[in-house]
Each structure stands twice: as C-alpha cells, then as structure tokens.
Structure 1
Amino acid sequence: IHAQNRAAPSGRAGERCALNLAGIEKDAIDRGDWIVDPRLARASERIDATLSLLPDAAVTLQHWAPLHVHLGTQHQVAHVALLDGESLGSGQTARAQLVFERPLCAVPGDRFIVRNAQANRTIGGGHVLDPFGPARKRRTPERLAWLDAMQTMLDTGALDALLDRAPNGLLRSLLEHLSGLPAAAQLPADTHVVTLSGDDALLVAGTAWRALSARLIATLEQFHARSPDEQGPDSSRLRRMVAPLVDDALWRALIDDTSSRGGIVRSGPWLHLPGHAVTLDDAEQALAGVLLPVVKTGRFDPPWIRDLAAAHGLPEERVRKLMRKLARQGEVFQVVRDLFYHREAIRELAAIAALEARKNDGKIAAAPFRDVTALGRKRAIQVLEFFDRVGYTRFHRDLHVMRTDSRWLDLL
C-alpha cells in the first residue's frame, strides 16, 4: 500500500492510496471494482438510499424512472423505486430504492450523485442506507422502520436501533458489513449472542429475547388450557406455534435459557410449564398398574373409559381422571374423548404412517392407512387427525402430510 505517495502499512479514508496487486492480470480489473475484506465481499442489485434532487434539477421523478448513478468510481444506470411517495420533485428529499442491472458494491453512508436519463446533467445525489434492499415488500412499515434505524446508526454510530428492528436476530456478519466495524466492540450489554456454524453468530437484542421468551410461556399456557390432558408439545411443534421463522440455533438457545431460568420444564421430549407436572399417589399408581396393561393389550383397539370402568367396577370419572394424568406423563395418548392409546401402540401407528408417507411422496390418505392398520375408516381418520393435532402431520386437501421438521416419533 502506498498512501500519499509513500509506502504505508494501511490506508485510511481521505487519503490518496495506491495498491500493488500481484497474481492478477491488468485486463481483469475494471473501473469501479472493489478490493474488500472478505467480510464485505457481497454485492447487490438493489440499494435503499436517501435521494435528494437539486433545486434547479428541473425534473420530477416518477416511479421506475431511469437515472445514471455514480458511486465511488462505479457508474451504472438504475431505476428508481420511490419509497416515500409517488413522485420526487426538484429540491425534495425522499427515500428510494435504486435497482441496477448488475450487482454493485456499497456500504451504508456511501455518497453518490445522479444524472438524468440522458447523462448530460447532474440533478442530485444522496447516501446509501441499506446496500441490500429487498425485491418485494420494500414499502412496508417494518421495512421503512428498518431504514429509519439505519439512518440512526449512521447519525449516532449506535447499533441499538438496528437490533431492536430485528426481532428474530441479526447475523453478526451482516451487522459488521453494515457498520464496517467488528460487532463485538459495539454491541449493547444485554445482547444475546447465539453461535452459528461457519464462524458466524446471531445477535438478538435483550428486549427481543425477553419478548420471545414471554411469547413462549404464554403459548404454553394457552396450550395447557386447550389440551389439559397432554403433557406438552415437543420443541419443534412449540416452535411452529411461537415463532416459525426463527433460526434453529436461536430457538434451541431460547429453550435452554428459559428452561435454565425455571420458566419451562423439560420432561423427556415434552415441554411444559412448572405447574403442569403430574404425580400419582399410591392408590393411583396401583390402579395404573392394573389399567395400563389392559390398554397396551388392546393395541390398535383399546377399551373406552366406560368399558375400563365397567370391567373393574370403578366409577368412570375416577378412571377418566387417572388416564388424563397418565396422558400428562406420556404413558398414554387421548386420540378422541375417552379413548386412550398406549404409547407403544401410538409409536407403532406413527411408524406405519411414516412408511405409508414414503410410498406416496410424503402424504398419507385415510383409505390406505385404514387397510394397513386394519382399523375401521372412522378410527383411521381419528388417528390421523390426532397426528395432525400433535404436529406429526398436517392436513392438506384430504391428505395428511408428514412434517419434515417433526421429531415427534423419534421422541416417543
């Protein structure tokens, strides 16, 4: 590196620098090319920016108007997608997305000038807000709030506003690209760092983390109120209910953190609130020792609550109450009201369903499932609807589709 015509170990903004490049032919380098740190080696065809027209520009820009854009030594034609209105007149400033024909390198704060479509007059300029503008939903309130946060970062150097606008976390690599600085040196104290593969991490603001944890607990409360006989959902099913868009690593870290603080409890694969735990007294344990073998022997056609009660001379409500407790412990599963299957029978039926799905592109129809299990049509449908309910499958157009992210069978 030569800075100010002298050899130097580094070059800084505002200095006139020259680089001696080895291992590359001169004709492989074009005007406008960038030499960057690998962490910044990402270009984009869409740049969100603040655009100002000169008072004497004598032009009113409409949506998708073409402009010649000069950013650094780069020169490209871009179409303007206005974000704050339907037109931009002389002397006015607004946010806009510049859509280029070829990918362009930029970082937030970079300044540019624009010339008219004939490239014979400079009509304005602006600065980059986000070099990675979206192709769709670029004018939503959430997107415009993100651009507000980008401007706050440029004005203050603080990252709080950006992290607050990323409820599902922000990649450390992206944050470093946007800010131009190592993330570790500028994160707010309550930021949660979730390690990812590939030497990256997900950064989550403390407020967003607490909001996700609160939503997790509230969802479990609703689940227990709606399904008091189930011990709780597994992690994958709960994620679909709470935050289906969050990263896997973030979800696992959230579960671990909420569990370590006592907000939720793990019972094998199942997650539940602390107050949802079930214990059996001596009499209930003795009765469970009698009833569970009967239910297990019934396999795919276990006895109903009324039949269990009649066979053992017990009140139906006592048997029903015990079976619900056993369901919370994961020993049995209630497929329909007053019909409980032993967990081994459910595991066997779930394995059969998975096998049938592999034969039919991940889908299960009631009739083939009925035939292979020797269940009646009504019972086969009830079992498949149970699988939908617990998140093992999902119903779609008269078929039950296996959920690829469900580990429900593995955890039984």
Structure 2
Amino acid sequence: MRSIIVGTAGHIDHGKTALVRALTGVDTDRLPEEKRRGITIDLGFADLDLGDVHIGFVDVPGHERFIRNMLAGAHGIDLVMLVVAADEGVMPQTREHFEICRLLGVKSGIVVISKRDTVDDELLALVRAEIEELTRGSFLADAPIIATSARTGEGISELKGVLRKLSLAIGPRCAGKVMRLPIDRVFTVRGFGTVVTGTLIAGEIVEGQDVEILPAGMCARVRGLQVHGRPVERARAGQRAAVNLSGVEISALWRGMTLAPAGRLHATRAFDAFVEVLEDGLPLRSRMSVHVHIGTAEVMARVRVLEDDGEIACGRAGFAQFKCEKPIGALPDDRFIVRFGSPLRTIAGGRVCDVHPPKHRRRELPIARARLQSLSAADETTRLVALIEMAGARGLTRAEILARTGLSDEAFAEALRGARERGAVVEAENVFISREQFDGLVEALLDELADFHRREPLVKGMSREELRERACARLPVELFRAALANVEASGRVVVDRDTVRLSTHQPELSPSDRILKDELELIFRRSGLEALTMEAALKRIDSAPKERARKLLKLLVDSGTLIRLDDEMLIHREALEALRERLREYAMKCGANIDVPAFKTLIGLSRKYAIPLLEYLDRHGVTRREGDVRRILIAESD
C-alpha cells in the first residue's frame, strides 16, 4: 500500500480543519486553546485509508502568527491541499502558504474551495479566477479545483477520488539516503515513556534500532513504533511515525531535532545553498540576519551571499552561505524557508548544497559557485566528485563523505563506482582524493626527492618519515602511503626499508671524495674484527671535513661495504666474511658448539669486541645461543 503525506495550506478560518474532519472523521484541533478560540494553533494529524493508498494529513495553522508551526509541518509533505474559502477568496496567508509550498519544492497538489454552501455560482466563479491567477505558471497551474462544503458534504466524495488519483501518481521518496525523521511532537505515554512523532523523510526506522538525536548527539533506542496509530516493526519513508524511545528523557527533546542512525550524521552550524528570492519580498544581502526554517527546526542565521555583488535581488536566484546561531541537522537537497524578522515575512527559499562548507574567499567566489553548481547536480557521482574536489589535498574519509551526503552504503558504493570509471577519484585506505590532487601529491614527492638528492648527492636516499614531513605534513598518512606506493610501482622511486630515493639517483663522488672514501674504507679494512664507531674512524683522518667524511661513511654503510654490528659499531664486510670461514673451519675441527672464551681465542680479541660480534652473528643466523654456548649453524647447513 502506498503511503502519502498531504498537507493543508491556506488562510486562517478558511476551513482547513473542518475539511480534514469531513474527509477523515478526525478533529485535528487537539489543544484546549484551539477548541476555545476556534482556530488551529499547532500541527494536527489525521489519516485516511483509501484502499490502495493511505493518506496521512498534516493540518497546519493559517494565522500569520503561527507560520513557524505551519513550516514545521510543511517540510515533509508529498502533496498540498491549498484551501481557499468561497466567501473570502485568496487572502494574504493563502499567498504566503502557496509560496512556501512552492519554495519547499512541493510538486503536486489540489486546490479546494471550501464553504461552497455560503456563495452563489457567480461568486464561486470569481474565486476560481483568483485561484487560477495565483497559480498560473506554478506547480499548481493545472491542479484540480474542487468546490466543497464540510457542512453539507458537497464535493467530499469527489475530493477523495482526486486525492487517491494524485497520490497514486506521486513517485517514491528519494532512495539512497539514510533514515531521518524530523521531530514535530514530543510527549510521554503512561507505561511507555518518551514518544516523538514526525514524517520519515528518508530510509526506514526499525524497532530495536539504535538512533542518534541531532543536533544534540544523544543516543537512544527505538523501543516501539506506530504508523497511523497501529504498532509496526518498521516504518518507511513517506510515513508518519510515532517512535517510543528509551534512554532519553522528554526534557532533553524538542521540536526541531532529528532522529538519524547512530554515529552516521553530524550537526552543522553552516551550510551553502541555492536560494530563490520572492519577487515581492526583500533582496537577500550579505550580513543580513534571518530566520531559517529547515525540517521542523527554526534557527537564526547570518547570510553571506556568494554572488559577486553580495546580493540576490527580488525574483532572482543565486548561492549563499548561512551561518547558524545553533547547530542543526541538515543534508544536501534539504529544502528550507528564509523569513525576515522585522516585519516577519517570508522572503526566500532554498535547497542545501553543502552542510560542512569551507570559508569562501572573495577572489575564489567564481570557483565556489561552479563547485556548488556541481553539488546541485542530480547525478550522485558528479556530486561525489565535486565534494571530494572541494576537500583539496586533504581528501575526505568514507565516514566524512557519508556524514556530508547522507547516502546509504549502497548509494555511496554506486556513486563511487561511477567516479572511479571516470578516473576522477583515487582511494587510499578509505581516504578519497581527486585524481588531480593525487597527481599533484605524487609530483610533490618526486620534487622533494629530487631536491634532496641535489642537496645531498652523497646520501643514498631520504628517510621515509622525513619525506612525509616535508611533502605531506598536514595530510592523512594514508595518502602519503598511497602516493609512495604509486611512484614505487611505476619504477620512478626505489624504497629500501626506511630509505626512499629516485630510481635514477646514484651518489656522485668528486675525485677528492673518492680519495677520502678509499681512505675510510682502508681504515676499516685494516681494523679487521676490531669494530670501530663512526667517531673513532673520523679521528683517524686528518684534514678532511668531518661532516663530509661522515656522509661518506654512511655511503659505505648504505652500499654494504661497512656493516653495523649495533647502533654504534661498524666493521668491514670482508672481516665478517673471513670470520664466517673461520667459524666453519672451527666447527669442522672442534664441533659446532663454541663458548665466549673459545670465541675470544679464535678471533684474538677481548670481550669488548667478541660480544657485539656474537650478538650480530646470532641475529643473522650464523650462530644460535644455547645457554652459555653458541651453536655454529653454518656448519649444519653445509
């Protein structure tokens, strides 16, 4: 069965509540003050079962003082029922309600002339003409106009038939978004506790589900669900639901909050939007303070128009950024209304483009508008690419993208697949960056390595960590790893443990450097198994610059000519190779076991040299310590 939300709209005392009562048998005026004064003050709800379609009615107040309540109910409707009294015709709130529905993107509706029994045919025709003039060129231009009387029942049956026909023609709610339910009522039920109601605008909510209440960030669990007064296990987009929550007190909740999946979305204090200003309103200007109505929330916000002249004129449209005084739960494509406070009136409406926007510099406004235009596209892949491009070199994590788009896991995967097919996005361990930015990062690594080799021609390469600090200091480490893997796979870079170098780099030695290098190597060759520290070796050279000699020693280490026994002591490779042979001969003559005294005798050196040598041999599988002796393993492998 289809579920459709129909909202009433129209001037005060034009019979909206009486019309809903005639259709459903439910009096939506529930407050004592509403009964006493005979007007609707707050939202009222009723439902109508038409067999193959179930209609939920949201009855809104018509008085100008209660427009904020009207806006809280108008956000989630699929179809509007604009009510015009036959004895008064189109009135100020008729026009304002009509404009609000148009700005909120309502695409379908019906016009109902109420109180038909109070006028003759001539006056009825005049009212029809007024309505046609009001709706000309709008989404209601071709809408049915039905004259009714809640008192006599005239036209009610016909209205039900038209409502059914229009409801069945309405397409499904937007798919691919996570669950959201803007809260429009909060109350308690004895024996159950806290209950909130609202229209589920996306996704589905399930009994037992953990939810988060935005913008407060409180967590709760769905204890029970009702749709149109009947218990259900799940509610879907397009249905009005009553949600029994556990783990949260009623005093912590209010209209304007939103239920969402736990940990999925984030509140925001700023958003960029495409805004349409009414022809008979006020121009929207930078630094203007306005009331923003979004979902069921109302918040004060400061405007920054992103057009070059800092203004969106009456009857025009453009981009603007809104900085809210309080956080709100919003997502791209959410519709909102802008009202000016003095005098209080509706001046504009808009559609959210980005819920976590950057600060736009004036000189970058054309670029910002172009990107916001991409974010407004219907194609989710285009929007995803634009969002990632706007993040720059930092990229966006998967969690950040989901929070900023509200996409379901399936819709995100589909959009990402399209972005990859276009070659527009690179993924690095769940961090996503535009191809252009990633290519720039790769070039930055190569440039940094080239600069390092120019500065340090004698050094084999740059440490991995130093390269990251210089080229990607403020970027996620995942992007650095991906860029490094890219240049290594392409053969442009060689990664040797912790050292990175360009594949074309070879240490360049001047004639004097070659002489000094040979002198240093000779020092270690003559030293044999008497390992030397780098500083001890440097003391054995006379006039050569110590820093230059130190780099040449590191070059000898990097080339494998010198071997590190530990953090300080170095030994020539030839000495170790000769030692291996002596150990093999020892094992053949004396057995595979050797203790420290025997090893000292074998090499003719003190414990100072013997212990570091044995520990090195242990680490490299030449010997293995077994208690107080070492077992010579190379003898066993021969």
Question: 2:331 and 2:293 mapped to 1: Cα distance?
Answer: 14
Q: Deviations over 1:13-44 (max 9, x none)?
A: 43333322234333332010111112434111
Matching of residue 212 in structure 1 with residue 435 in structure 2: no
Match of 1:263 in 2: 492
Name the structure with the higher strand share: 2
Relative to structure 1, the CA distance from residue 256 to residue 118 in structure 2 (aligned partners, 3 Å threshold; closer, same or farther) is same
Matching of residue 193 in structure 1 with residue 419 in structure 2: no
> TM-score when scaled to structure 2?
0.43
Indicate which of 452, 472, 476 corresponds to 1:243. 472
- Alpha carbons 2:269, 2:328 under 8 Å: kept: yes
Indicate which of 72, 87, 92 corresponds to 2:295. 72
Relative to structure 1, the CA distance from residue 3 to residue 193 in structure 2 (aligned partners, 3 Å threshold; closer, same or farther) is farther
Alpha-carbon distance, 1:101 to partner = 1.2
- Alpha carbons 1:83, 1:97 under 8 Å: kept: yes
Alpha-carbon distance, 1:140 to partner = 3.4
Task: Kindly indicate whether structure 1 or structure 2 has the higher relative contact order, using CA contacts under 8 Å at least 6 residues apart.
Answer: 1
Question: 2:439 and 2:358 mapped to 1: Cα distance?
Answer: 28
Give the residue type in structure 2 aligned to 1:122: T
Question: 1:267 and 1:223 mapped to 2: Cα distance?
Answer: 16
Indicate which of 332, 338, 349 corresponds to 1:125. 349
Q: Within 5 A, what are the aligned runs for 1:150-299? A: 150-152=375-377, 155-158=378-381, 159-166=384-391, 167-181=393-407, 182=409, 183-187=412-416, 188-189=419-420, 191-195=425-429, 201-278=430-507, 287-290=519-522, 296-297=535-536
Give the residue type in structure 1 aligned to 2:241: C
Relative to structure 1, the CA distance from residue 117 to residue 295 in structure 2 (aligned partners, 3 Å threshold; closer, same or farther) is same
Indicate which of 256, 274, 279 corresponds to 1:32. 256
Matching of residue 113 in structure 1 with residue 352 in structure 2: no
Give the residue type in structure 1 aligned to 2:259: I
Question: What is the aligned-residue identity percentage?
Answer: 27
Relative to structure 1, the CA distance from residue 80 to residue 113 in structure 2 (aligned partners, 3 Å threshold; closer, same or farther) is same
Match of 1:336 in 2: none
Question: 1:230 and 1:163 mapped to 2: Cα distance?
Answer: 38
Give the residue type in structure 1 aligned to 2:500: L
Question: 2:481 and 2:499 mapped to 1: Cα distance?
Answer: 14
Relative to structure 1, the CA distance from residue 145 to residue 286 in structure 2 (aligned partners, 3 Å threshold; closer, same or farther) is same
Match of 1:355 in 2: none
Please give the secondary structure, in 1, of the residue aligned with 2:344.
coil
Give the residue type in structure 2 aligned to 1:44: T
Question: 2:426 and 2:404 mapped to 1: Cα distance?
Answer: 19
Alpha-carbon distance, 1:134 to partner = 3.7
Q: Which runs of 5+ in 2 are unaligned?
A: 1-224, 525-531, 560-566, 570-638
Alpha-carbon distance, 1:303 to partner = 3.9
Please give the secondary structure, in 1, of the residue aligned with 2:356.
coil
Q: Deviations over 1:78-116 (max 9, x none)?
A: 111122232222112121111111111100110001111
Q: Within 5 A, what are the aligned runs for 1:338-349? A: none
Relative to structure 1, the CA distance from residue 52 to residue 291 in structure 2 (aligned partners, 3 Å threshold; closer, same or farther) is farther
Question: 1:300 and 1:11 mapped to 2: Cα distance?
Answer: 82
Relative to structure 1, the CA distance from residue 63 to residue 44 in structure 2 (aligned partners, 3 Å threshold; closer, same or farther) is same
Match of 2:585 in 1: none
- Alpha carbons 1:46, 1:134 under 8 Å: kept: no
Indicate which of 3, 7, 15 corresponds to 2:239. 15
Larger Rg: 2
Question: 1:115 and 1:278 mapped to 2: Cα distance?
Answer: 70
Q: Deviations over 1:98-146 (max 9, x none)?
A: 1111111100110001111226311110011111234575873565554
Give the residue type in structure 2 aligned to 1:21: L
Q: Within 5 A, what are the aligned runs for 1:82-101? A: 82-85=305-308, 86-101=310-325
Relative to structure 1, the CA distance from residue 65 to residue 286 in structure 2 (aligned partners, 3 Å threshold; closer, same or farther) is closer
Q: Deviations over 1:205-240 (max 9, x none)?
A: 444333322331233223323432232322232234
Question: 1:110 and 1:32 mapped to 2: Cα distance?
Answer: 14
Question: 1:304 and 1:119 mapped to 2: Cα distance?
Answer: 88
- Alpha carbons 1:46, 1:135 under 8 Å: kept: no
| Superposition RMSD in Å | 3.7
- Alpha carbons 1:278, 1:325 under 8 Å: kept: no
Relative to structure 1, the CA distance from residue 304 to residue 251 in structure 2 (aligned partners, 3 Å threshold; closer, same or farther) is farther
Match of 1:305 in 2: 544
> TM-score when scaled to structure 1?
0.65
Give the residue type in structure 1 aligned to 2:521: G
Match of 2:214 in 1: none
Give the residue type in structure 1 aligned to 2:428: V
Please give the secondary structure, in 1, of the residue aligned with 2:481.
helix
Q: Within 5 A, what are the aligned runs for 1:364-375? A: none
